[in-house]
Structures are given as structure tokens and as C-alpha cells.
Amino acid sequence: MLMSLSRIVVGLVLCLGGAAYGQELIHSERSLYREVLVYQDGSERCMCFTQRCRVGRQTCMNMQAPDRFVMNYTQMMMSSLFVNPQPKSILIIGLGGGTLPRALSQVLPTTKIDVVEIDPAVVRVAKQYFGFAPDARTTVIEADGRVFVKRALRERRQYDLIMLDAFDHEYIPEHLLTREFLEEVQSLLSAQGVLAANTFSSSRLYDHESTTYFAVFGPFYNLKRENRVILATKGSKLPDLATIEANAARFGRTYEKYTIDVSRMVKMFSVKRDWDARARVLTDQYSPANLLNLED
């Protein structure tokens, strides 16, 4: 049953150090896929898919400074432009509150952006509560991310930047974790294309995810701060750090409005293999969600 609760003050235990915060629940909606909740604490408004926020906040916005990035993973995802600074076409799988497509549209005023979101409720909430307003260059497609990728391959589309940012109430859906899916995504990338994937920095899936991405893309940049963001390229050769630094410098002043410190971001770029290379690659036949353990 669709339900909207207005201005109910609730106590919510968030995933921020396990501390209890008095949150104001301003929206609650049960969709076909999940519960979509919006909480506000002072000027900060957040979307969550569970009342106890087991995975954490899906998206957050400072309502007094809406361009300011609240969550670290969005800053790391924007660092994908340090690998390819001029993408002409972008695909984002997973909308959340629309932080990434909104910022990318501002930073890249001529770039075409496709956003795929499976849940119409998330699209509605992003527009109503997080100020997401697609412009003429931003198209929102309500579909399963993998279904869209397969369709895009049949249509021979290509993207210069693909961002994977799809989460359910626990983690990334299983069918978006496998080697077969990543191979499909790789085929959608242009010759200079870049993949940016938002994952967890600590879970029992970490080794398996890492070996799976490495099996498809070869070496990749690993950025870790709370979340982990993987940056990979179509080819097996990554741009060196000198190139990353030079590209980052181009965005220094532009990124200030989003409170992104480009020098701090560059220092996070690492190709160190900090995973067990013996971990089994995830496939469509082997992608067990019970490997995930948030306490690791």
C-alpha cells in the first residue's frame, strides 16, 4: 500500500558509527521493489531504503547548499573525469537522489546523459524531495539496468563514461555483479571509455568483486574512503598518474562548488591489488548474495 507520512519525528539508528539520531521522516513509500524513505536532520535530507539504514544512506543533500556533495562516494565517482575529462555521452545506472547526473550536467554542458533507474518511486522522490530536474540533455529511463544494457548493445550504442551506482536494500543486485554483465558494459564503452563503479570498501564480496573486475578490465584504479570506487578503462592500459593530475587540475575551480578537493582525490588513486587474487570470479551461475557481510 502506498503511504506518505508527513512531518513525523522518529528516532532512527543510522549506519554512521551506530549513533542514534533524531530524524524527521518526511516521506515513506512502498514501491514494487523496496521501501523508499526520506529523512531530514536540520538542513540535511537523506534517502534510505530501510528504516534501520542497514546499507547506509542512498543519497543525501544539504538543503541550504544543494550543490555541495555530502557523501564521499559521489566525489570519488566524479573523479572519473580525471581519466577521461571530455565524455560526450554518459550512462548512469542507478539514480538515487540525482546528485551525479545533476552535477555532471552542470560540469559538462554539452554532454548527453542517460540515467537508468528501475524504480519509478525513486524517480518521483528524487524530483520531489531532492530537486532532480532532468534537462533536455538528460534522459531518465525506468528499466532494469542489465535489461537496458542488453538493449543498448542491440542498438549499437556507445558511451564515453558509464557509472554503476545501483543498490537495493542490501547491496548491488546480484545480476549487476557478474563477469557476464561487466563484459556487456565493457562492450558499451567507446574506445576511450571509462567505467566508474560504486562498491563497498569492506565486505566478504570485496575479493570476489575485485577479481571479477580485474578479469574483465585488467588493472584498474581503486579509490577507497568509506565506499570503494573502481575506475577502469576500455583498454588494458590506464592513464598514468601524471595524466590523472593534469586532468584533475582542469576541474579544480569547477569542483569547488561541490566541495570536491581534487588534490585529495588524486591522492586516492591506487592500482595496488589489495584483494585475494584466488577469490572466485562472480558469474551468472555463481553470484551468491550470502557472501556479503557488512560487519567485515
Can you spell out the DSSP letters for 48-80? ESSTT-SS--SEEEETTSTTSB-SHHHHHHHGG
Nearest CA among 58, 61, 63, 3 for reference residue 27: 3
Catalytic residue (choose from 165, 207, 240, 284): 165
Can you name the CATH fold of 72-283?
Rossmann fold (3.40.50)
d(CA 207, CA 224): 14
pLDDT beneath 50, residues of the chain: 1-20, 293-296
Instruction: Give the pLDDT of residue 168.
Output: 74
Residue appearing with cell numbers 584504479: 221
Is 165 among the catalytic positions? Answer: yes
pLDDT digits (tens, 9 = 90+) for 214-232: 999 999 999 999 899 999 9
Nearest CA among 51, 52, 91, 96 for reference residue 73: 96
pLDDT digits (tens, 9 = 90+) for 114-127: 999 999 999 999 99
Give the distance from CA 17 to its chain's centroid: 22
Q: Cα-flanking dihedrals φ and ψ of residue 256, to 5°?
A: -60, -40
